[in-house]
């Protein structure tokens, strides 16, 4: 293989990191850090880098390598073909992130390794948890939701405090419910390709109606937990605003459920990406402002 071919393989691998798509998951990390009540430090910045570049990026590329999608995936309408370069980039990112994690303590390393293990079980053909409808939802809920929240928390407080603090448990539950609720919706435009590959994802198994029913229930529960924590920890005005936002989100979700069966692949992809990107950006903006205010109601 010539130098040009190697360069193109590595370029495709970098594209499959889908770093721009990490904004969808950014609120989970920020939510975990916010509930510590700490001010951002170098540990916060390093943790943010490790999780959203090396951990999520490596997991994205690893999953792309085994999926070999030809149609749209999260963040890429026309993904480039994968090759050994994609796997090399994925493994390099996972290893680099692990080394950097050592700077943040063994608890953070444990969270990082747990996510890596789940990403392998989720994507690799020998286990392929992605192909199991319930197992895939639980894996994403625990990995992206629970561990993503915990990674943010560990950049401000200890694991022991997470295990003994009520708001940490409630906050983590909200993150997991939110992730599990939104996840099946992101598969709505991939039904044909997933079914052709033999992956019985939640949408393939239960259809769009089942996916959106699950989304409404779990996102509604997540919204209740989020609003309750914000009402107790910050201000009633923020809680009311968040409640209105959750309600608006559920309304948008119901409209999306009605339009998807009639839409083209491109239209459906844009609609779903608009939902997840919009939600990610809005929540990120709120959490960033709240963290930036620097008020600590937790002592």
Per-residue pLDDT band for 10 (boundaries 50, 70, 90) equals: confident
Higher pLDDT, 84 or 103: 103
pLDDT, residue 13, reads: 87
Per-residue pLDDT band for 296 (boundaries 50, 70, 90) equals: low
Residues 6+ positions from 134 with CB-CB distance below 8 Å: 202
Q: Say how far apart CA 54 and CA 296 lie, in whole Å.
A: 30
pLDDT at 182 over 80: yes
Q: What mean pLDDT do residues 257-282 have?
A: 91
Range with the poorest average pLDDT among 136-145, 167-176, 187-196: 187-196
pLDDT at 8 over 80: no
Domain 3-293 has CATH 1.10.600: yes
Q: What is the DSSP string of 133-168?
A: HHHHHHHHIIIIIIIHHHHHHHTTS-HHHHHH-HHH
pLDDT at 277 over 60: yes
Three-class SS state of 82 = coil
185-215: pLDDT as tens digits: 988 888 878 778 777 888 888 988 999 999 9
pLDDT at 3 over 70: no
pLDDT at 294 over 80: no
pLDDT at 5 over 70: no
pLDDT at 233 over 70: yes
Q: Say how far apart CA 22 and CA 137 lie, in whole Å.
A: 18
Mean of per-residue pLDDT scores for the chain: 92
pLDDT at 143 over 80: yes
pLDDT, residue 149, reads: 98
Cβ pair 145, 28 in contact under 8 A: yes
pLDDT at 4 over 80: no
Nearest to 189 by CA among 129, 263, 78, 79: 263
């Amino acid at each position: 293989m010539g130098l040009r071919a190697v360069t193109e393989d590595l370029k495709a691998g970098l594209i499959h990191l889908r770093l721009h798509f990490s904004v969808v998951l950014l609120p989970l990390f920020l939510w975990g850090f916010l509930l510590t009540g700490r001010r951002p430090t170098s540990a916060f910045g390093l943790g943010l880098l490790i999780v959203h570049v090396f951990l999520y990026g490596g997991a994205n590329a690893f999953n792309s390598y085994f999926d070999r999608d030809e149609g749209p995936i999260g963040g890429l309408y026309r993904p480039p073909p994968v090759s050994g370069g994609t796997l090399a980039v994925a493994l390099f990112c996972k290893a680099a992130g692990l080394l950097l994690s050592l700077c943040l303590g063994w608890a953070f390393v444990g969270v990082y390794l747990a996510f890596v293990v789940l990403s392998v079980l989720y994507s690799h053909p020998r286990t392929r948890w992605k192909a199991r409808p319930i197992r895939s939802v639980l894996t994403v809920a625990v990995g992206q939701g629970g561990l993503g929240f915990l990674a943010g928390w560990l950049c401000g407080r200890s694991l022991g405090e997470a295990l003994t603090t009520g708001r940490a448990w409630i906050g983590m539950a909200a993150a997991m419910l939110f992730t599990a609720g939104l996840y099946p919706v992101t598969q709505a435009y991939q039904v044909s390709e997933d079914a052709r590959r033999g992956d019985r994802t939640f949408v393939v198994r239960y259809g769009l109606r089942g996916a959106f029913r699950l989304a409404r229930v779990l996102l509604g529960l997540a919204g209740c937990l989020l609003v309750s924590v914000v009402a107790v920890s910050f201000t009633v005005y923020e809680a009311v605003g968040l409640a209105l936002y959750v309600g608006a989100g559920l309304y948008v979700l119901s409209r999306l459920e009605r339009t998807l069966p009639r839409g083209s692949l491109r239209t459906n992809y844009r609609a779903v990406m608009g939902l997840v990107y919009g939600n990610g950006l809005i929540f990120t903006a709120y959490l960033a402002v709240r963290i930036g205010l620097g008020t600590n109601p937790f002592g």
